[in-house]
Amino acid sequence: MFTVVERELEMRLVLSPEHAVAVPARLGYRTDDPYAVHITFHINSQFPVHWTFARELLVEGVFRPCGQGDVRVWPTKTEGRGVVLMALSSPDGDALLEAPAAQVSAWLERTLRAVPPGTEGEQLGIDDGLAQLLAQ
């Protein structure tokens, strides 16, 4: 049995310094995939976009710039409110998304209560599986 921690929120796709578009999104976390976070954009559209990356990257990115390559995350302030920026790159294009820091942080706290940092491996049952394999 596993636990799912989800949160729907409105992110903003930053098109230029002056222009951004609202994008409905869903943050997802599953205890049977304890190292990853999942973000789905355009959740009510015919072709939603899914991204998966390390939970640790998002946790760190709430506090300081981190990541390289396909996913980079950093905190900043926009119009006097705390936000988390996510720069996502793929062969299909690049996107800069802005999420409310308070909502992302509250959701991350729920994931950290479900699976505390350092205990992710215990969720996978690798030790039990290996013991069963070696017992045969």
Domain boundaries, position 32: 4-135
Which pLDDT belongs to residue 127? Answer: 63
Structural domains counted in the chain: 1
User: What span, in angstroms and rounded, lies between the C-alpha atoms of 57 and 60?
Assistant: 5
Query: Please, what sign has the CA dihedral across residues 116, 60, 55, 100?
Result: positive
CB burial of 74-105 (b: ≥16 within 10 Å; e: otherwise) equals: bbeeeeeeebbbbebeeeeeebbbbbbbebbb
Q: Which pLDDT score, from 0 to 100, does residue 121 have?
A: 75
Mean pLDDT for each consecutive 10-residue tract of the chain (136 residues)? 92 93 96 94 84 96 95 95 96 94 97 88 66 72
Position 126 scores a pLDDT of 61
What's 35's domain CATH number? Answer: 2.30.31.20
Q: Which of 59, 62, 132 is nearest to 100 (CA)?
A: 62
Predicted TM-score (pTM) of this structure:
0.85
